Amino acid sequence: MKILTWNILASEWIKKSYYPSVKEKVLFDRKSRLKRIMERIIDEDPDILLLQEVMELEYKTLCKHLLPKYHISFLSPIDWAKKQDEKYIKKEKKEEKEITSESGNVTLLKKTLFKFKKEIHHETLPMDFGVYTTTFYQSRQIHIFNIHLNDLHSQRRNTQMNVLRPFLDQQKYCIIAGDFNQEYRPNSKLYNITNFTVHNFCHTYYIEKNMNIDNILTKGFSVKDTDNDKCNYVPLKVENGFKIYGSDHLPVMISIKV
């Protein structure tokens, strides 16, 4: 079973000040970015596809091209920052309004593996940081968490993950994947979840510096082949990254088996 997780970069978060080295005609070419992203998804042909920062236009494109092949969840917007985030408000020119987002997470499951839609259940995670999906694979119930953790505070990221821990302890087969917004460290509390295996040790983000902040964690599964050791090419220039991937994050892929 092949899993792909990817933060595809919502256009609502693209500002020239965030990517000063990228030419505007490349940076704001949403159509070309989406084309590259779709080509990569179709080429990889994952069994489970977990996407973050999907906007309505991208969601409609996914449904148009992939609905015949995949069960597609709803688009679950991420709750980025509330009024109580005073530091964030000051950083954003003391805005008093809540920071809202049009983008969110979407989970896709291949119909040939997960055949009956009535046996697939999607819901928004508590605290609005992703999509929870439960389904059956080879008569085994699996629990899939497509997450996008808080991008500002490590304490809040840990709080979000702690919401899941009691449930995770009780389940046999689980997948947690997405944008953890925190660099992987073997001793990190965020990534240390009882009986879970961390699969990705490659860089997945290349803007401020090369970092591993996107990952796939599993419980009850083992690695299927050695291809999981292969890392994606990390661009040396930010603009090249946009031209190659269409996003500021790199996709993460693994193959697992029960």
CA–chain centroid gap for 68, Å, is 22
Q: What is the CATH number of the domain that holds 41?
A: 3.60.10.10
Tens digit of each residue's pLDDT (9 = 90 or more) over 155-166 = 999 999 999 999
Higher-confidence residue of 55 and 95: namely 55
Q: What is the mean pLDDT of residues 118-124?
A: 92
Q: How many domains does the chain have?
A: 1
Range of the domain at 128: 2-257
CA distances from 189 to 148, 153, 165 (A): 17, 14, 12
Integer Rg of the chain from CA: 18
* pLDDT tier, 169 (very low <50, low <70, confident <90, very high otherwise): very high
- Could you give the C-alpha distances from 81 to 26, 44, 101, 151, 240, in angstroms and in order? 29, 33, 9, 9, 31
- Return the number of other C-beta atoms located less than 10 Å from residue 216's C-beta: 23
Residue 92 has pLDDT above 70, yes or no: no
